Amino acid sequence: MPPGLFGEAYLNFGALGYLVLCVAVGLVLRRVDRRFQAGMRMNSMQIVSLAVFGAMSLHFIRGEFFSPFLIFVGIFIGARAVVARIRPRHA
């Protein structure tokens, strides 16, 4: 079983690496949470981005990177195309 993202940070950089990663993940998740809390002001692309990021963040935290990243990019590009297609155009 792989050590995961936090285990990798500790194994590669020691306690300081672990603490830096904890702070970085906390800051990213705080920003995502604040976006979610302000959900009524979000446009459709921001909502899709938040949903995709939320679903994929568990894979990143578990320690995988490349495969979830490719899935994230594919879903994000597809969702962006769908949102652009269904968004009403202003004349």
* Averaged pLDDT in 10-residue chunks for the chain of 91 residues: 80 93 88 73 74 77 74 82 73 52
Residue 47 lies in a domain: yes
Specify the number of domains making up the chain: 1
Q: Which structural domain, as residue segments, surrounds residue 26?
A: 4-86
Residue 91 lies in a domain: no
Residue 41 lies in a domain: yes
Q: Which of 23, 12, 3 is nearest to 63 (CA)?
A: 3
Distance from C-alpha of 31 to C-alpha of 33, rounded to nearest angstrom: 5
Spatial neighbors of 6 by CB under 8 A, at least 6 apart, are 18, 21, 22, 61
Q: Give me the pLDDT at residue 60, please.
A: 72
Residue 37 lies in a domain: yes
Residue 39 lies in a domain: yes
- Stated pTM of the model: 0.55
Residue 43 lies in a domain: yes
Q: Give me the pLDDT at residue 22, please.
A: 92
Q: Give me the pLDDT at residue 40, please.
A: 61
Residue 23 lies in a domain: yes
Q: Are 5 and 63 in contact (CB under 8 A)?
A: yes
